[in-house]
Amino acid sequence: MNQDLQIFENSELLANAAARAFTAAAADAVASRRSFIAALSGGSTPKALFSLLASPAYRGEIDWQAVHIFWGDERLVPADDPGSNYYHARHLLLSQVPIPSTQVHRVRGELPAGEAVEDYTTQLRESASMGLAWPRFDLALMGLGADGHTASLFPGSTAVMEEERSVLAVTADYAGRPAHRVTLTPPVFNSAQRILFLVTGKEKATALSAVLRAPKDVQQWPAQSIQPVSGSLTWFADRAAASQLSPI
Ligand code: 6PG
């Protein structure tokens, strides 16, 4: 597995680098397969990226007619709830670009957990190559919680050990955010062509150092479960989040 860490002076420079990486991954995928399938992360970190991708500087770089968007995880709230990851991606990006609505594959958070899981599992299967249960994402954007979680794979959760199912319902109390969630599982993320973590802020420094440097313990540091089978793994961190990373 090829993994690399890039450290940026601040979150703005990181967001611009992420926008360049996103548009480059899209251009590669569209050139080779006429489509680009991406899984977005939630929370606050990717918001600056979404705004940049919708801006004149980047929006024209992507053939949005060829783009399919999924989410790595979602909170079980309605689509118009500010607690929804879809809500922010739609407001900041998807409503600003000509992506066909049929190519926006949101988790239907308004449904009961079991139905939302079943519906999203079906959406993934319908977008997969023949006989597969989920698409190989050209790009999976990932975030990192201060506790070392990613997507909705939280410390102590059995979800991080899942090897078969693509989508699980989980409950977790984190930062006052909606607790009931749906998440993709490590096998789905790890089949991606490119995985890109975006990590900013000093509150992430301990988790980032542990995930990258501590002995593997996915129950304590769930982001360590993200190890692409054959794709690339890239970490973008700002200097504040990287402040506990001692030079190798
Ligand atoms: C979510 C996210 C979650 C997020 C981390 C970091 O639904 O909350 O998918 O995994 O990426 O919690 O969140 P921030 O970017 O807000 O720090």
Asked if residue 235 has pLDDT above 80, the reply is yes
pTM score, two decimals? Answer: 0.97
Q: pLDDT, tens digit, for every residue of 1-27?
A: 668 999 999 999 999 999 999 999 999
Whether 150 lines ligand 1, by a CB cut-off of 6 Å, is yes
The DSSP output letter for 240 is T
Please state, for a pLDDT cut of 90, what percent of the chain lies above it.
98
Average pLDDT, stretch 200-212? Answer: 98
Is residue 42 domain-resident? yes
Is residue 248 domain-resident? no
Is residue 247 domain-resident? no
Average pLDDT, stretch 121-127? Answer: 98
Average pLDDT, stretch 47-74? Answer: 98
- The number of angstroms, rounded, from the C-alpha of 242 to the middle of its chain's C-alpha atoms is 20
Task: Look at the block and give the residue holding tokens 């990717």.
Answer: 46
Q: Is the dihedral of CA 49, 51, 54, 55 positive or negative?
A: negative
The CATH number assigned to the domain holding 202 equals 3.40.50.1360
Q: How many CA atoms lie within 13 A of 214 on its CB side?
A: 19
pLDDT at residue 246, rounded to an integer = 79
Average pLDDT, stretch 208-216? Answer: 97
Shortest-distance atom of ligand 1 to CA 72: 9
Q: pLDDT, tens digit, for every residue of 141-183?
A: 999 999 999 999 999 999 999 999 999 999 999 999 999 999 9
Is residue 169 domain-resident? yes
| Count of the separate structural domains present in the chain | 1
Whether 200 lines ligand 1, by a CB cut-off of 6 Å, is no
Residue type, 62: I
Alpha-carbon gap, residue 203 to 225, rounded angstroms = 21
Coil vs helix vs strand at 215: coil
Q: Which residue has its alpha carbon closest to ligand 1 atom 5?
A: 145
- Enter the tokens of residue 46: 């990717």
How far does residue 149's CA lie from ligand 1's centre (Å)?
A: 8
Is residue 126 domain-resident? yes
Is residue 246 domain-resident? no
Give CA separation, 41 vs 34, 99, 129, 175, in Å.
Answer: 23, 18, 23, 16
Q: Which residue segment(s) compose the domain that 71 sits in? A: 4-238
Is residue 176 domain-resident? yes
pLDDT at residue 3, rounded to an integer = 81
Alpha-carbon gap, residue 197 to 3, rounded angstroms = 11
Backbone angles phi, psi at 246, to 5 degrees: -75, 145
Alpha-carbon gap, residue 40 to 85, rounded angstroms = 9
Whether 183 lines ligand 1, by a CB cut-off of 6 Å, is no
How far does residue 145's CA lie from ligand 1's centre (Å)?
A: 6
Please state, for a pLDDT cut of 70, what percent of the chain lies above it.
98
Average pLDDT, stretch 133-143? Answer: 98
CB environment 109-133: b (16+ within 10 A), e (fewer): bebebeebbebbbebbeebeeeeee
Average pLDDT, stretch 128-148? Answer: 97
Residue-averaged pLDDT of the chain: 97
Asked if residue 121 has pLDDT above 60, the reply is yes
Is residue 132 domain-resident? yes
How far does residue 175's CA lie from ligand 1's centre (Å)?
A: 10
